[in-house]
Structure formats: C-alpha cells, structure tokens
C-alpha cells in the first residue's frame, strides 16, 4: 500500500473517479446509467476480471469513471479483492481523484464497512445510497446531512435503476473534486491494547510516508494489521513487515484475535453512524415475504427441486429455443457460400473464401443465440437475487468434489455448449475455483457431441434393437455417454483440486440480496457486453484456426488426380446439361476430394498417426476425422463425408454416409465400424478437447495460454486412455 499523493484534479488532467461497492449494491447498474453505451472494457493487469472505464460528466466536469470489482472490504483475502484494493489504492499507477461508494440503502450496516475503509484513506469520497426508492417503500429513511457529518463524506440518495438522483450525484462528485485535498479529520480513537498496536504500526508507516496525513496513516496501519499475513507480507517494506509480524505474534501469544478486534471496532463506529442517521421499522411485510421465499428456495430438498425446474427451462431454451435462430444463421452462411461460388470463378481463392473465411465466420456466429440466451437467464437470475440462493443450496453437493456452489450453473450449461458455460464461470469470485470449473466443464457432453453420437449409434446399432424389450440400445448408449461425461467432469475437478490447483477451498460466503425485479436495461447491457466479448476475442482465434484447418484438408493436391477429374468433368459437360450436369459435377467434386485427401497435409498426418490410434480401433481415415474435428467436434461428420467421398454437406442423418461407414473395411477386409470400435470412438469424443472455440474462450477468460494448453493435454491423454481401455478391454472380454 504505497504512497499516492492527492493532487488537485485540475493539475492531473482528466480526473479519475473510482466506482466501488459491495457485490449486489447496484454498482454496475449505476455505471451503465452514468456512462451509457460509451464504456470501454479491458482487463486488470495479470487477471481476467473486466476493467470497465467510461467517460462521464460530473456537472460540467469531464471525468473518467472506473468500475471497480465488487468487494466487501479493502482487506484483500483473494486475488479478486486485491484487484479492487489496487484499483482504489494503486501501488504503482495513478490513484483515483475521488471514489463513489455505492451502498444499498436497505442494508446500510453491511455496506458502510467498505465506505468507512475508503473514507479512512483520505480519498475524496461520495457515498451513493442506492435503491433509496426500495428503502422508502419499506419505511427506511436516511438523514443525508447527519450521515455526511458522521462519515466526513458527501452523501447522496439515488436509484440507479430509475435513474433518480444522478444529477445530485454528479454535483457531489464535482464538489469533491474541487475541494482536494479534503479537510483533515482526526482518526477514530481505539481502545486498550488495540490502540497500542495501531500506534506502533502507525509510527513505522509515518516514517515510510512522512507526507501522509494522520487519517491516511491510520488507514495504512489498520490495513496492514488486518490484511497482511504469511505470503501477503512479501513485497512490502521490510520494516513494516517486521512490525506487523511482531504485533500479530504478540497478540496471538496473549490469546487475542486481532482481526476480530479491528472489525468489531469498525462496526461499533458504523453502528453509531446508523443510529444517528437512519430510521427503520422493525420487521415488516417485505421481510416476511423474503423469509417465506427463502424457506422454500434454500430448503435442502424443495430448493433443489425448484432449481431443477429452472434448469429444465434453461435447457429447453438452449436446446430448443435457440434452434430456429441457429438454423437461420446456418442458412444465411450457406446462402452466402452459394452466392460466393456463383459470383466468383472456381479456384483456390474462392475455395478459401467459401470453406475457410465464410465457414470460419459461421463457426463463430452460430454460437451467438446460445450465448445470448444463457446470459439472459444468468443476468435475470442474478439480478433477481435467486442465483445466490442456488449457490447456497448446491454448495452442499459440489463441495464433496472440491467445486464451488456457483459452479453448478456453468457445469449444467456445458450440456448445451462449453463456450457460454466457460464465460458463465465469471460468477465465481475465487480465481482457483473458477479455473477448476472452466478446466473441468469441457468434459460435459455438449450439443456438438450429439451429431457424433447420433451418427455412430445409427451405424453400429440397428434402430429396432432394444434392451429388456422397452429401451432402445441407442438410447441406452446415449445415456451412458452423458453419464460418463458427468462422472469424468466431477472426477477431473476432484483431481485438479488436489493436485495442480491444490489449496484450501474458501467457504461459500454469500450475501443473500433482497428479491428484485430485474431491470431490462441492465440485463440487455450485460448480455451485449458478453456477446460482443465473445465475437471480438474468441471469434478472431476461431476464424484463424478454421482457415488453417481448411488448408490442411485441401492442400497439397496431386496433379495426376486433378488432371483425371478435370477430364471427367469435361466428359460430363459434353454429355449432360442442367440439373443432371450440376448433380454429376457435385459428385465428381466429392470423389476428387476423397482422392486428393491422402495427398493433403491432413491425409499425410492421418497416415502418420495411424500407428498411434490403431490400438484404439481407428485407422488413418478416422485419424483424418480427428484432425478435422479439432475445429469443432461436429466437424467429424462432414470430414468423414469427405474421406468417404460423400460430400461436405452430409450430416448425422445422412443415409449414404451411414451406409458408407457401415460398409467401410480395413486393409484386411474386416469391418472398420463395429460396436466395440464405435463405442471407443464415442468415448474418445466424450473425453477429448476437440473444440477450438472452448480453447479460445478459456484463453480469454484465464488471460494466458497456460491453462487452455493444459486442458488440451490432460483431456487428450484422458481420451486416449479411455478409448484404449474401452477397445482393448472389450477385445479381451470377447467383444467385437
């Protein structure tokens, strides 16, 4: 916590105003209301928590508003809280000229703790009493003048959702910036041994920062005593580290809980503020309604059943509601490809545009309906106050495998698509818990795996085959794949929590916010930010890799093969016309793609990896499919269509493709696709990291290539071992 001199705002260029507050205080809603659509999103250095900044006019003064991550205090206990601390008290960068602390007017006792700490730093501070309209409805009134006198900060009542009081807030911030530095206030006196501890640390802080004022010195001393311990003492001045260690050791030897004493002293001060400035009724109808709802929604059984019903609606939305939109996007991409083919002469450039660029863009945009729907649900559930209740209920189950309660929604969303599910892990505050979740959830059977399951099951199991005369064999196999994915996900999370991401799992500490009707503007803003982030960041990487994969599957070509098929096309042009010619040329294109494949880079790679994948029951043609499906798992279907000369437009329902695979033979004449080899292939795709979209979004969310590459390595190894055990174990047991 280094010195950050407070200079007059006029001498520092455009003033910086930090917007701080507890989670669920309405800080983001206020930020959106103040900056509108002009906000810019980046990342805080070293961590992928959004750093949102935007221009704002405080009265007639232009300022830069910075949205600080939600935190309960300046005593950092996690990397996320440290980001918030550094944004308000930056160790190296310019400190904010003023701080707006957003406090929930319906729960001031909790929210004023952070305000107290910020006031103690000596920063010009404005306390924005948000949700004042809700407070008035339940009989709470706040004497702004009395609270301002007690805290030394300017106090303004606002409603961010209704956009009430924003003019008064702007005027208060303008006045705070004009009055730098703020008037000196004596630190609140402490009692007994705690006062002696504080004075001892203050003496060292004063020697390090001789120009600091008394309030700031007290703030630094209490921050050091409350925040620093163990590894957190690294990187601060050695004399401060030494005195903090001595004071804490002496307190521990005396049987004192220093943290508790400091926190109780602060809350005693807050209680005096509230008693002098706030009038509130005891209990009330709203409290009774909240209690009745919580008795159901947080109940171990009823709460889980309600959540299951909510998840059913979410799945229906992600699977069914998004289908028409996805179909429209796919039709639009297909139409654009057809228009491009008709408008440009045949050749490599046209192929690149059609199968590389346009297909790559389609691979990005096709996810947008699912991403948007998922985040509409998450934003509504979060803003309504329900998501916090869900995390409380599910945490009892998830903690057994080392997962955070808030991981449940992203994991379930992984059944639809891992891309929005990874983005949904942002609701998990702790970085380690978030990483465990995003690295395990790609094992959940997403909808992209479904075409593969459908194709392989149709090839190896007759539709009429049933188990116990009721359940079809195909349905049983499909259920097995989904069950395997859940077991693998939970198992991977448990292993990572005890190895590479080992560490104490923080207890689930939740503030259960009051139930509210979500604001449409806030929901729309949250959804747009996340969709835009996906399109810009993940989409760039997806497009690039798609083009590379197209090149691997298309080049180099064999001149003799090209000449032979050019001759066949010429013969067809002489003998046929109209639709018959078009159909014949399409068939020749498919056959040429099959003939050229062994000569392409992907074909050569398929032959190269055949010795490695042969123990799994796969040959080089399936190997080519594995390479092609790196772009997206469902690409396996169209890639196999190319390999067997059926054409790129085939899907899992294509009878010619299913027949071709059913009749496919190995070099020794035996069937390639048997129940055993087909089952091994499905197991491989349950466990493999065949999705560059997920890779890109994990890189974006983690801020480094380290974790997505780790995911690729562990999932590929797991897939190989799983398929190997399935195939070789089946052979040993006499299956074929």
Residues 727, 587: Cα–Cα separation, whole Å: 35
Q: Does residue 181 have a cis peptide bond before it, meaning omega lies within 30 degrees of 0? A: yes
Name, in order, each residue with C-beta under 8 angstroms of 167's C-beta and a sequence gap of 6 or more. Answer: none
At 95-145, the pLDDT tens digits run: 889 999 999 998 888 899 899 888 877 789 999 999 999 888 888 899 999
DSSP label of 36: G
Greatest mean pLDDT among 242-246, 272-276, 380-384 lies in 272-276
Tell me the pLDDT tens digit for each residue of 505-552: 656 666 677 787 887 887 888 788 778 877 776 566 666 766 777 788
- Per-residue pLDDT, 64: 92
At 289-304, the pLDDT tens digits run 777 888 888 888 898 8
Report yes or no on 125 lying in a domain. yes
DSSP state, residue 249: H
Give bridge partners of residue 42 from the DSSP assignment. 51
Is 451 or 685 the better-scoring residue by pLDDT? 685
Residue-wise pLDDT for 40-90, tens only, equals 544 433 444 556 788 999 888 999 999 888 888 876 555 556 677 777 777
3 state DSSP class of 280: coil
Asked whether residue 10 carries a pLDDT value surpassing 50, the answer given is no
For residue 733, the model assigns a pLDDT of 92
Beta bridge partners of 467: 471
Say whether 4 sits in a helix, a strand or coil: coil
Q: What is the mean pLDDT of the chain?
A: 80
Residue 143: its pLDDT value, please?
94
Taking only the tens place, the pLDDT of each residue in 544-588 is 766 777 788 788 999 999 999 999 999 999 998 888 887 888 788
Pick the closest to residue 1 from 219, 259, 213, 229 (CA basis).
219
Rounded distance between C-alpha atoms, residue 501 and residue 495, angstroms: 9
Confirm whether 158 is domain-assigned.
Answer: yes
Residue 265's nearest CA partner among 153, 186, 151, 189 is 189
The whole-number pLDDT of residue 44 equals 39
In the predicted structure, residue 360 carries a pLDDT above the cut 80: no
Q: What percent of the chain is modeled with pLDDT above 70?
A: 82
Query: Quick check: is 652 in a domain?
Result: no
Alpha-carbon gap, residue 392 to 387, rounded angstroms? 9
Higher-scoring residue by pLDDT: 110, 681: 681
DSSP characters over 471-539: EEHHHHHHHHHHHHHHHHHHHHHHHHHHTTT-SPPPP-----PPP-PPPHHHHHHHHHHHHHHIIIIIH
Assigned token pair, 391: 């995390």
User: Which among 688, 705, 687 is positioned nearest to 696, based on CA atoms?
Assistant: 705
Residue with tokens 């959830």, as numbered in its chain:
441
Under 8 Å between Cβ of 605 and 623: yes
In this model, does residue 216 exceed pLDDT 80?
Answer: no
Q: What is the pLDDT of residue 11?
A: 44
What whole-number distance in Å separates Cα of residue 64 and Cα of residue 254? Answer: 48
- pLDDT at position 24: 78
The answer as to whether 692 is a domain residue is no
Which pLDDT score is estimated for 712? 94
Cα dihedral 82/83/84/89 (nearest 10): 80
Residue 162 counted as domain residue: yes
Q: Is the pLDDT of residue 237 over 80?
A: no
| Length of the chain as a residue count | 736
- The closest of 703, 171, 691 to 452, measured between CA atoms, is 691
| Phi, psi for residue 406 in degrees, rounded to 5 | -75, -5
pLDDT per residue as tens digits for the range 394-435: 777 777 788 877 787 788 778 878 888 898 887 777 788 889
Asked if residue 167 belongs to a domain, the reply is yes
Cis before 556 (ω within 30):
yes
Task: Check residue 568 and give its pLDDT.
Answer: 93
**Where residue 391 falls among pLDDT bands split at 50, 70, 90?**
confident
Angle at 724 between CA 720 and CA 728, to 5 degrees: 175
Separation between Cα atoms, residue 241 and residue 332, nearest integer Å: 63
pLDDT over 60 (residue 606): yes
Q: Decide: helix, strand or coil at residue 310.
A: helix
Provide the 8-state DSSP code for 185.
-
Residue 217 lies in a domain: yes
Provide the terminal-to-terminal Cα distance of the chain, rounded to the nearest Å: 67
The whole-number pLDDT of residue 609 equals: 94
Residue 629 above 70 pLDDT? yes
pLDDT-derived band at 455 (thresholds 50, 70, 90) equals confident
With residue 100 as reference, give the H or E element that holds it: strand 98-104
CA distance 277 to 108: 11
The CATH number assigned to the domain holding 17 equals 3.40.50.300
CA dihedral 189→190→193→198, nearest 10 degrees, is -80
Nearest to 76 by CA among 245, 246, 219, 226: 226
pLDDT at 396: 72
Count of domains for the chain? 1
Model confidence at 284: pLDDT above 60: no
Domain assignment present for residue 115? The answer is yes
Domain carrying residue 9:
1-282
Please report the pLDDT score of residue 9 as a whole number: 45
Q: What is the pLDDT of residue 353?
A: 83
Helix and strand element counts for the chain (H, E): 33, 11
Give this prediction's pTM: 0.61
Question: What secondary structure does DSSP assign to 337-378, as a single string?
Answer: HHHHHHHS-SSHHHHIIIIIIIHHHHHHHTTHHHHHHHHHHH
User: Residue 439 has what DSSP assignment?
Assistant: H
Tokens of 318: 């992600």
């Amino acid at each position: 916590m280094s010195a950050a001199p407070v200079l007059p705002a006029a001498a520092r260029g455009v003033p910086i105003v930090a917007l701080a507050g507890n989670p669920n205080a309405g800080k983001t809603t206020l930020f959106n209301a103040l900056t509108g659509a002009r906000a810019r999103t980046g990342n805080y250095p070293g961590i992928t928590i959004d750093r949102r900044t935007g221009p704002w006019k405080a009265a007639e003064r232009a300022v830069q508003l910075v949205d600080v991550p939600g935190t309960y205090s300046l005593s950092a206990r996690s990397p996320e809280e440290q980001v918030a601390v550094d944004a308000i008290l930056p160790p190296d960068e310019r400190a904010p000229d003023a701080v707006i602390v957003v406090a929930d007017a319906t729960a001031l006792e909790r929210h004023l703790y952070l305000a107290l700490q910020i006031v103690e730093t000596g920063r010009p501070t404005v306390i924005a009493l948000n949700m004042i309209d809700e407070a008035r409805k339940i009989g709470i009134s706040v004497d702004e003048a009395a609270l301002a006198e007690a805290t030394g900060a300017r106090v303004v009542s606002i409603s961010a959702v209704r956009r009430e009081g924003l003019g008064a807030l702007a005027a208060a911030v303008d006045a705070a910036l004009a009055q730098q530095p703020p008037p000196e206030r004596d630190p609140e006196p402490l009692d007994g041994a705690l006062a002696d501890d504080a004075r001892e640390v203050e003496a060292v802080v004063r020697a390090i920062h001789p120009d600091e004022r008394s309030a700031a010195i007290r703030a630094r001393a209490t921050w050091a005593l409350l925040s620093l311990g163990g590894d957190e003492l690294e990187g601060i001045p050695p004399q401060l580290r030494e005195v903090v260690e001595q004071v804490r050791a002496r307190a521990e030897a005396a049987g004192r809980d220093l943290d508790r004493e400091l926190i109780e002293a602060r809350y005693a001060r807050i209680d005096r503020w509230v008693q002098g400035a706030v009038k509130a009724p005891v209990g009330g109808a709203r409290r009774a309604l909240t209690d009745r709802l919580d008795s159901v929604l947080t109940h171990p059984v009823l709460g889980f059943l309600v959540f299951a019903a909510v998840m059913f609606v979410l799945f229906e939305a992600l699977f069914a509601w998004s289908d028409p939109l996805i179909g429209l996007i796919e039709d639009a991409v297909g139409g654009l490809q057809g228009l491009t083919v008709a408008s440009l002469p045949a050749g490599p450039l046209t192929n690149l545009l059609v199968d590389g660029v346009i297909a790559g863009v389609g691979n990005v945009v096709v996810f947008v309906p699912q991403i948007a729907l998922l985040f509409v649900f998450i934003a509504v559930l979060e803003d309504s106050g329900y998501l916090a209740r869900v995390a409380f209920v599910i945490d009892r189950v998830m903690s057994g495998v080392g997962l955070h309660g808030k991981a449940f929604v992203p994991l379930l969303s992984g059944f639809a698509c891992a891309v929005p599910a990874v983005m949904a892990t942002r609701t998990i505050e702790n970085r380690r818990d978030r990483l465990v979740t995003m690295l395990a959830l790609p094992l959940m059977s997403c909808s992209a795996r479904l075409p593969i399951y459908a194709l392989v099951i149709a090839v190896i199991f007759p539709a009429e085959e049933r188990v116990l005369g009721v359940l079809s064999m195909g349905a049983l196999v499909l259920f097995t794949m989904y069950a395997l994915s859940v077991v693998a996900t939970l198992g991977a999370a448990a292993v990572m929590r005890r190895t590479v991401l080992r560490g104490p799992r923080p207890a689930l500490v939740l503030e259960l916010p009051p139930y509210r009707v979500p604001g449409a503007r806030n929901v729309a803003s949250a959804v747009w930010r996340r969709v835009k982030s996906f399109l810009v960041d993940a989409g760039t990487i997806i497009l690039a890799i798609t083009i590379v994969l197209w090149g691997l599957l298309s080049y180099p070509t064999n001149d003799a093969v090209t000449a032979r098929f050019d001759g066949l096309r010429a013969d067809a042009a002489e003998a046929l016309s109209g639709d018959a010619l078009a159909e014949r040329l399409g068939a020749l294109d498919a056959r040429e793609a099959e003939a050229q494949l062994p000569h392409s880079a992907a074909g050569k790679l398929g032959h190269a990896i055949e010795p490695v994948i042969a123990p799994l029951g796969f040959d080089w043609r399936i190997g080519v499919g594995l390479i092609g499906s790196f772009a997206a798992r469902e690409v396996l279907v169209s890639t196999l269509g190319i390999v067997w000369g059926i054409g790129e437009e085939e899907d899992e329902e294509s009878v010619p493709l299913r027949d071709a695979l059913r009749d496919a033979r190995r070099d020794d004449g035996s069937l390639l696709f048997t129940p055993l080899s087909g089952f091994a292939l499905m197991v491989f795709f349950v466990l493999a990291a065949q999705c560059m979209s997920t890779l890109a979004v994990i890189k974006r969310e983690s801020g480094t290539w380290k974790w997505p590459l780790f995911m690729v390595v562990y999932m590929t190894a797991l897939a190989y071992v799983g398929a190997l055990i399935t195939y070789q174990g089946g052979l040993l047991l006499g299956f074929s």
